[in-house]
Amino acid sequence: MLNAREAVQSLKEYHPPLSGRTGLRLDFNENTERPSSHVLQRLRQLDAEQLTRYPEREPVERFTAQFLGVNPAEVLLTNGVDEAIHLLCQTYLEAGDEALVVVPTFAMYELLAASTGAKVIPVRALDEFRFPTETLLNRISPATRLIAIANPNNPTGSAASPSEMLLVARAAAHAAVLVDEAYFDFYGQTLLPEIRRMPNLFVARTFSKAYGMAGLRAGVLAGPEQQMKMVRKVASPYNVNAVALACLPAALGDRDFVEQYAATVRRGRERLQAMLRSLGIRYWPSQANFVLANFGSCAQAFVAEMARRGILVRDRSSDPGCSGCVRITLGTAEQMDRLLATLEEIVCTMPVGERAAV
Ligand SMILES: Cc1ncc(COP(=O)(O)O)c(C=O)c1O
């Protein structure tokens, strides 16, 4: 009988909805509208040869490196940040090693680290989901080989300071430290220049969020040249598809698009946070394109009623420390008008005592 590896058999299953997401999609932190018109134009120009040929990653990798202000040897384009995480796990984790993950956070760190047979050690964020620098430092051991930090973090929207993350990276020189900047465009602070100074630091960015290209699956991993050589060994030479590669330079060339979208999201964030305050719903100030709010014992009913009215939001109640929490992605002004009107209507029908107070 064929048996999957023990580590795979004991893996928890991760079940994000893979079909039927119709309506206003405020559940996955995607761009809620569209990518740059330059990208759409580039898509229309694709010819048959670009599809028959294996994709050529290198020229686009050079372009992306230049955009990021690093060397091509310090950059690997990936099939989304998901693949970047996978590659880091493949490169650095052996069965029995330890991976530290600050929780609550993006589920793929734990899943992909555990799939190697490594032991995942969840480190709980402090109150208000603050970054647990001291606890992390205390949990670093000789067996620690990977530390994953989403900054800003998903689902909390909170961010750690550069000095806190660098302290951790310095204390774990024998571990790969990933700072996942998937939400960088809504936040603006980065550790990217530090990959030159920190020999164990990796920074990941995605084109799935502000750039509006989640369907194309493209991300980028940056790290010290010596380490990227190792990571590149375990990547398929054709990991990023030709359509994504054709579109990336067009996406990177349209800075205005991303800046305007991020500004729209920040305005929506202020509006949603103001409404939650006025309704007495507890929320955590966010640096990303979503807000986590606590609807207490009404959370499930709230998510279901929103869905019935055509707006998808994500129930995060089962994340550590997130009982009653719902994550709401931000979108355009019109989408926020609809969200806020619907949210207010639903919340006003909820029993006051059961809403989690500010
Ligand atoms: C922190 C974080 N990293 C990575 C991803 C996935 O990025 P990609 O679409 O590039 O695989 C997400 C998506 O929700 C995320 O929240």
- Check pocket membership of 247 for ligand 1, CB cut-off 6 A: no
Q: Where in the sequence of the chain do the CATH 3.40.640.10 domains occur?
A: 37-253
- Confidence (pLDDT) at 353: 64
Confidence of residue 290 (pLDDT cuts 50, 70, 90): very high
- Confidence (pLDDT) at 355: 64
- Check pocket membership of 150 for ligand 1, CB cut-off 6 A: yes
Q: Which residues contact 320 (CB under 8 A, 6 or more apart)?
A: 103, 104, 122, 124
pLDDT in tens, 204-237: 999 999 999 999 999 999 999 999 999 999 999 9
Q: Is the pLDDT of residue 139 over 80?
A: yes
- Check pocket membership of 148 for ligand 1, CB cut-off 6 A: no
Q: What is the mean pLDDT of residues 274-282?
A: 96
Q: Is the pLDDT of residue 45 over 50?
A: yes
- Residues 335, 273: Cα–Cα separation, whole Å: 15
Asked if 156 contacts 326 with a C-beta cutoff of 8 angstroms, the reply is no
Asked if 169 contacts 197 with a C-beta cutoff of 8 angstroms, the reply is no
Q: What is the mean pLDDT of residues 138-159?
A: 98
Q: Which residues contact 138 (CB under 8 A, 6 or more apart)?
A: none
Could you give the angle at which helices 242-253 and 37-44 cross, rounded to 10 degrees?
140
> Residue 285, preceding bond cis, omega within 30 degrees?
no
Residue of minimum CA distance from atom 2 in ligand 1: 182
- Check pocket membership of 156 for ligand 1, CB cut-off 6 A: no
- Confidence (pLDDT) at 358: 47
Higher-confidence position of 16 and 50: 50
Q: Which residues contact 105 (CB under 8 A, 6 or more apart)?
A: 148, 150, 153, 154, 155
Confidence of residue 16 (pLDDT cuts 50, 70, 90): confident
- Check pocket membership of 155 for ligand 1, CB cut-off 6 A: no
- Confidence (pLDDT) at 357: 53
pLDDT in tens, 97-121: 999 999 999 999 999 999 999 999 9
The percentage of the chain sitting over the pLDDT mark of 70, rounded to a whole number, equals: 98
pLDDT in tens, 118-134: 999 999 999 999 999 99
**What average pLDDT does the structure give for the chain?**
96
pLDDT in tens, 26-38: 999 999 999 999 9
pLDDT in tens, 58-84: 999 999 999 999 999 999 999 999 999
Confidence of residue 19 (pLDDT cuts 50, 70, 90): confident
Cα distances (Å, whole numbers) of residue 68 to 42, 61, 107, 223, 240: 22, 10, 27, 12, 18
- Check pocket membership of 154 for ligand 1, CB cut-off 6 A: yes
What is the reported pTM?
0.96
Question: What is the length of the chain?
Answer: 358
Other beta carbons less than 10 A from residue 66's beta carbon: 13
Q: What is the mean pLDDT of residues 171-185?
A: 98
Q: Is the pLDDT of residue 142 over 80?
A: yes
pLDDT in tens, 316-350: 999 999 999 999 999 999 999 999 999 999 988 87
β-sheet with 282-284: strand ranges across? 282-284, 290-294, 325-329, 314-315
Q: Looking at ligand 1, which atom is closest to the CA of residue 219? A: 10
Asked if 123 contacts 168 with a C-beta cutoff of 8 angstroms, the reply is no
Q: Which fold has domain 18-30+256-351?
A: Aspartate Aminotransferase, domain 1 (3.90.1150)
How far is the centre of ligand 1, averaged over its atoms, from the C-alpha of 351 (Å)?
A: 35
Q: Where in the sequence of the chain do the CATH 3.90.1150.10 domains occur?
A: 18-30+256-351
Confidence of residue 153 (pLDDT cuts 50, 70, 90): very high
- Confidence (pLDDT) at 233: 97
Tell me: domain 37-253, CATH 1.10.10.10, correct?
Answer: no
